[in-house]
């Protein structure tokens, strides 16, 4: 297993540890309308025993006009504390299909100072398929104290992104589908132009996993290299609203790439702005 990411845990690993003190399990499933799945309803019907539902809409900055914007540190800490999570917990995050929305929450907790955050390999759909334990019982939560240690250097602002696009100081890795990147498929959100930031590389988040399982480190390196990402240079990750960009972040960190940041506004901000440069096609 030496070639597996140090940031994912296997279903066997998690199942053996369920119920142990200091373990926090989060169901971070979230779906686009086209996927026709209700994450909260699915959680209420069945979840991993002891799991807490992480609501991406609730866990975003209420003052932002953009979807899924990172909360302010104090607000995140208060919300994490109300879920019974501390900085010292072993935090395991999962989503339905695997490697879709869970990496965003893994990234959030790491950005706010949690040292032991992981993503469940394979997701909940595979967990159920394999006959592992599930429950519909309400998870009892003992409030805790999460003390934030926010690292602003992990987040790219709109101003920074303009500078990156202009100066090419960082490579841009775009997690959206190839069709959306090229500008041939419409954006799922209204009012956004189609295409990508000039100089960006297409790294669809789906290319980094297989059947919900994160690819091995050597395979991740191959995917990133094939997309034109030079792993010796700085990278900024982006997507539609800052969620699946974290799948690329997870892949980068897994292969040992440390100089990466995530553009939180992503295409919702860039593509919704009328005076930002937009490229189409493969270039």
Q: Please give the positions annotated as active site.
A: 239
**Residue 155 has which token pair?**
């987040």
For residue 219, count CB atoms less than 10 angstroms from its CB and return exposed for 0-12, middle for 13-18, buried for 19 or more: middle
Q: Dihedral through CA 247, CA 253, CA 255, CA 259, nearest 10?
A: 120
Helix/strand/coil for 153: helix
- Given a contact cutoff of 8 angstroms between Cβ atoms, the answer to whether 99 and 119 are in contact is yes
Q: For 250-273, give one letter per residue: b (16+ CB within 10 A) or e.
A: bbbbbbebeebbbbbbbbbbbbbe
Cβ–Cβ < 8 Å for 156, 246: no
Query: In 3D, which of 164, 270, 250, 165 has the Cα closest to residue 205?
Result: 250
Phi then psi for residue 225, to 5 deg, are -60, -45
Dihedral sign computed on CA atoms, order 263, 265, 269, 271: positive
Q: Cβ atoms within 10 A of the Cβ of 232, count?
A: 7
- Helix (H, G, I), strand (E, B), or coil: what is residue 183? coil
And the tokens for 264? Answer: 């939180």
Sequence-distant (≥ 6) Cβ neighbours of residue 66 within 8 angstroms: 241, 264, 265, 268, 269
């Amino acid at each position: 297993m030496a070639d597996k990411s140090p940031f994912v845990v296997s279903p066997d690993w998690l199942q053996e540890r369920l119920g142990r003190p200091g373990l926090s399990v989060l169901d971070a499933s979230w779906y686009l309308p086209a996927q026709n799945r209700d994450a909260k309803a699915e959680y209420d019907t069945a979840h991993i025993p002891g799991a807490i539902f992480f609501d991406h809409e609730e866990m975003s900055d209420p003052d932002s006009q953009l979807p899924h914007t990172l909360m302010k540190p104090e607000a995140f800490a208060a919300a994490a504390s109300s879920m019974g999570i501390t900085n010292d917990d072993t935090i395991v995050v999962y989503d339905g299909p695997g490697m879709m929305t869970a990496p965003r929450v893994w990234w959030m907790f790491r950005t706010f100072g949690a040292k032991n955050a992981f993503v469940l390999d394979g997701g909940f759909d595979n967990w159920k398929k394999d006959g592992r334990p599930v429950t519909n019982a309400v998870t009892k939560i003992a409030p805790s104290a999460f003390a934030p240690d926010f690292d602003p250097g992990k987040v790219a602002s709109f101003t920074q992104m303009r500078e990156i696009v202009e100066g090419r100081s960082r490579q841009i890795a775009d997690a959206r589908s190839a069709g959306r990147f090229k500008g041939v498929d419409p954006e799922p959100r209204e009012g956004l132009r189609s295409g990508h930031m000039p100089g960006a590389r297409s790294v669809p988040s789906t290319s980094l996993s297989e059947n919900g399982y994160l690819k091995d480190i050597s395979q991740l390196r191959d995917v990133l290299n094939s997309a034109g990402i030079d792993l010796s240079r700085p990278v900024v990750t982006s997507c539609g609203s800052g969620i699946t960009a974290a799948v690329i972040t997870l892949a980068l960190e897994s292969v040992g790439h440390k100089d990466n940041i995530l553009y939180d506004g992503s295409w919702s901000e860039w593509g919704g702005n009328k005076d930002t440069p937009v490229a189409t096609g493969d270039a």
